[in-house]
Amino acid sequence: MLERMVVLGLILWVGTALAETPTYLYGEIATPPGAVDGLAARAEDLGIPTATFEADGLVVRGAEDEGELLGGRVYLYLDGAQFLVGMEVGIERAILRGDRDRAELVVWTGGDVVVPPREEFLALLRELGLLETGCSITLAVRELPLKLPRVPEGMNLDPTLWALIGHPDWFGAARDYGLERVGLRVRVVAEASGALAEDLEPYVLSSSAGLMDLLIPIGLLPVLAADPAVRTVRPPYVPHPAGG
């Protein structure tokens, strides 16, 4: 309770200073060893609707479709080592997204009001094995850029994709940016001068003349951009009718 009160005090102070600026809470934690391996089974035991990327594509369990899954109070996405757990209560949205090594905790309301994560959400993360009892989480208030952020030097990513990676709402951002999303994956084109690293090859849909069409987890976009063979990663070009 003391930790929650300290966080709340920080929110009230910074929230006043950044009035009307879209803000959210952000923190990072280490993913407990082995937590991702048993995540699907624990979610099933808790009755949490799950969307899992499998050989045949996105498979939704515990809900009729992805729309119903996202319309519920709690949901889980799984894609190999990548995961995202979400809880929505009114305008409040708490998300933990990451992989076997680290995870990002994001709490936001979509506006300039910031609130601490509900104890209910933290308890859920502990039940799922994603948060160790007694784990300390440092949360910072971040602003949501109103323009596409500048891509760091050496990061071979289109500004839209760089903005997507850091956005508190991957799904809403992908929709607003006109990106094709399937679960935790997004469709991109990599302009490359050679073969990709072996662990990236499974995400390649097709390749021709130095262009590779990929459907890759959002969390792996920086890895793709850092591959030595990659010159740039961008969304696919969308053709427009002549005279349109």
Question: Could you tell me the pTM of the whole model?
Answer: 0.89
Confidence of residue 14 (pLDDT cuts 50, 70, 90): very low
The first and second tokens of residue 180, run together, are 């094709």
Instruction: Name the band, by pLDDT with cuts 50, 70 and 90, for residue 238.
Output: low
Sign of CA dihedral 54, 46, 87, 49: positive
Sign for the pseudo-dihedral over CA of 37, 129, 144, 227: negative
Instruction: At 113, list the tokens.
Output: 């009001």
For residues 10 and 108, give the distance between their C-alpha atoms in angstroms, rounded to a whole number.
Answer: 15
Average pLDDT over residues 116-128: 96
Three-state DSSP state, 42: helix
- 226 and 151 Cβ atoms separated by less than 8 Å: no
Higher-confidence residue: 210 or 15? 210
The pLDDT assigned to 243 comes to 53
User: Which residue did the predictor score with more confidence, 146 or 238?
Assistant: 146
Tokens of residue 49, six digits: 């609707």
Q: What whole-number percentage of the chain has pLDDT above 90?
A: 79
Task: State the DSSP H helix or E strand holding residue 161, giving kind and residue range, or none if neither.
Answer: helix 159-166
Q: Which residue, among 111, 80, 233, 63, has the nearest Cα to 160 in the 3D structure?
A: 233
Mean pLDDT of the chain: 89
Tens digit of each residue's pLDDT (9 = 90 or more) over 185-233: 999 999 999 899 999 999 999 999 889 999 999 999 999 999 999 999 9
Summarised one tens digit per residue, pLDDT across range 82-100 is 999 999 999 999 999 999 9
